[in-house]
Amino acid sequence: MRLTTLRTERGLRAAFATELGGVALESLQGASTALTDAIEIGARMSDGGIVTLLDGWNELRPELLRLADVAEKQVARGSTQPAATDTFGPSLPRPRKIIGVGLNYLDHAAETGQAAPSAPVLFAKFPTSVIASGDAIVRPAGVIDLDYEAELGVVVGAVARDVPLERALEVVAGYTCGNDVSARAAQAENGQWVRGKSFDTFCPLGPAIVDAADAGDPQQLSIRLSVDGDERQRSNTRQMIFGVAELISYLSRCFTLEPGDLILTGTPAGVALGREPHPWLQPGQTVTVEIEGLGRLQNRVIDARGPAS
């Protein structure tokens, strides 16, 4: 099952992503009262209802799986015309929290000249930084050191506090591709990273949230990033210093995790900051993140003054 949002004349709507496009949940017949209510409530929310579904994830997931299968079959036999993929909104448009994890791949820590951390390095990004695959990453005025970071995004589907390691993956609803776009000088000059990580458009997410059961082992996924087809990052999530379960358990001992929270789990080596000369992102370039089984997240860079000529 792959959940996403569609951009419609009435705003964002929760949808299933299929190979041929998106199918809005509200267009499907036969939903239970509980799911129908969640869809109707969600349609009034700015995120199209994704967090509303996550709030009831344990109860609603079996029926969502059934309806996702219905949507796939209807699209395959032509009885439903899916919306084009270029109408997809962000996979998680308004996360309750965005929790970033820094220096979580040993090779990335080394390329930035820092020691491997003994505990997860945490920072926040603001939800207003979220954009969809296909949207533009806007380079802010005065920023010349715009960088990319391919990341596995973990979408939380349950309230979690003090979760033991062996049960940590039970709180995961699914996974999505993320790009932790960063303005490096702004990141460094304040003594903490929030400003340099949270400019508008600095958190591309998509194309969909892939159900945790479909995604498989989160520590066995290849991850890759390219700029205009030039490969900059290639690794595997097994190279994380702190795996997904460790991160969830650690985070839940610090603060309560809630449905709709997003954990960006860190990036491997290959960022522009770690290369000489630094190949900073430039207006007109296209950045592509690919994670095994999760799809492709693609965004073009533009300047705050307008599109590149």
Structural domains of the chain ordered from first start = 2-87 (no CATH), 98-303 (3.90.850.10)
pLDDT for position 296:
98
What is the dihedral angle through the alpha carbons of 218, 204, 132, 233, rounded to the nearest 10 degrees? Answer: -60
Is 250:241 a contact under the CB 8 Å cutoff?
no
Between the alpha carbon of residue 185 and those of residues 182, 190, 193, 195, 199, the distances in Å are 9, 9, 10, 10, 13
- Which residue type occupies 286? T
pLDDT for position 113:
87
Q: Pick from 91, 177, 180: which is nearest to 129 by CA?
A: 180
- Which residue type occupies 30? G
Measured in whole angstroms, the distance separating CA 281 from the mean position of its chain's CA atoms is 20
Is 108:268 a contact under the CB 8 Å cutoff?
yes
Mention every residue, 6+ apart, whose C-beta is less than 8 A from residue 247: 101, 120, 154, 263, 265
pLDDT per residue, tens digit, the chain (309 aa), is: 999 999 999 999 999 999 999 999 999 998 999 999 999 999 999 999 999 999 999 999 999 999 999 999 999 999 999 999 999 999 999 999 999 999 999 889 888 888 889 999 999 999 999 999 999 999 999 999 999 999 999 999 999 999 999 999 999 999 999 999 999 999 999 888 999 999 999 999 999 999 999 999 999 999 999 999 999 999 999 999 999 999 999 999 999 999 999 999 999 999 999 999 999 999 999 999 999 999 999 999 999 975 543
Measured in whole angstroms, the distance separating CA 82 from the mean position of its chain's CA atoms is 23
pLDDT for position 240:
97
Burial 207-227 (b: 16+ CB within 10 A, else e): bbbbbbeebeebeebebbbbb
pLDDT for position 309:
38
pLDDT for position 272:
97
Q: Which helix (H) or strand (E) holds 227?
A: strand 222-227
Give the integer Cα–Cα distance in Å for 204 and 216. 23
Give the integer Cα–Cα distance in Å for 20 and 85. 8
| Alpha-carbon radius of gyration of the chain | 19
Is 211:65 a contact under the CB 8 Å cutoff?
yes
Q: HSE, CB side, 13 Å, CA atoms: give it for residue 192.
A: 8
Q: Residue 223 pairs with which residues in a beta bridge?
A: 235, 291
